[in-house]
Structure 1
Amino acid sequence: MATLPSLITRDVEKIAAPTGNIYQSVSVISKRARQISTKMKEELNNKLSEFASTVDNLEEVFENREQIEISRFYERMPKPTSVATDEFLAGRIMFRKPEVEDTTRNNNI
């Protein structure tokens, strides 16, 4: 069984191209990754809450196979940063650059 590589080399110029600045691109990617991570956590918590038990029986806790399988499924999913980076490079993330203020107007005060 072949495994996927754990590290992917990214071309910095391709990442910087949409914004013109690598730091702005990384900022956009990180904000999207945070959104994806939050959504994944909510989904996982909702699925696991279906199995929540008020019984404090340790044997039940260790034998709940459904919870374990759900957790393993989410562990095997691509990481939010990888998903966000792929979305960014494919042009599927909408972002706006903040407008640069005209400093000549501020000098007249």
Structure 2
Amino acid sequence: MKTPNSVSASIVTRNMSDLAVDTGNVYESLAIISKRANQISVKLKEELNSKLAEFATTVDNLEEVFENREQIEISKHYERLPKPTNLAIEEFLEGKIYYRTPSAEESGE
């Protein structure tokens, strides 16, 4: 997964009215952002697990634990990435998230 360099890895204060511009409702916007953050989180975890699986061994000896610097570097890289929530908020504010709200007529009400 390619992450933008412009997204801050730390917490940023957000104006709640900016989040409600597209949907008209802050809570709906937060629900959309949280679903996207979960998608990003799952994708990052799958990537990390696939990269770390290359180093998996059936036998653990003390020498292998200390020599596995590549595995440590991969883990540190993923720790330094922006949090999925920050990425999802940025995507939402930039209009990069597609979402739809089914109307009452379509749902049969």
TM normalised by structure 1 equals 0.84
Aligned to 1:87: 91
- The code of the aligned residue for 2:92 comes to F
> Where in structure 2 are the equivalents of 1:22-101 lying within 5 Å?
22-101=26-105
* Residues 44 and 16 of structure 1, relative CA distance in 2, 3 Å threshold: same
Gaps of 5+ in 2: 1-7
- Provide the alpha-carbon RMSD of the alignment: 2.0
Compare relative contact order (CA 8 Å, sep 6+) and give the higher one, 1 or 2: 2
From the CA coordinates, give the structure whose radius of gyration is larger: 1
TM normalised by structure 2 equals 0.84
Task: Measure the CA separation in 1 of the matches of 2:82 and 2:70.
Answer: 21
- The code of the aligned residue for 2:65 comes to V
List structure 1 segments (4+ residues) > 6 angstroms apart after TM superposition.
none
Query: In percent, how many aligned pairs have the same letter?
Result: 61
Deviation larger for 30-39 or 61-70: 61-70
Task: Measure the CA separation in 1 of the matches of 2:27 and 2:19.
Answer: 10
Q: What count of residue pairs does the alignment treat as equivalent?
A: 101
Residue 100 of structure 1: how far off its partner (Å): 2.4
Could you report, residue by residue, the CA deviation over 1:68-88 in whole angstroms, capped at 9, with x for unpaired residues?
000000000010000000000
Residue 7 of structure 1: how far off its partner (Å): 2.0
Query: Are the counterparts in 1 of residues 37 and 87 from structure 2 also a CA contact under 8 Å?
Result: yes
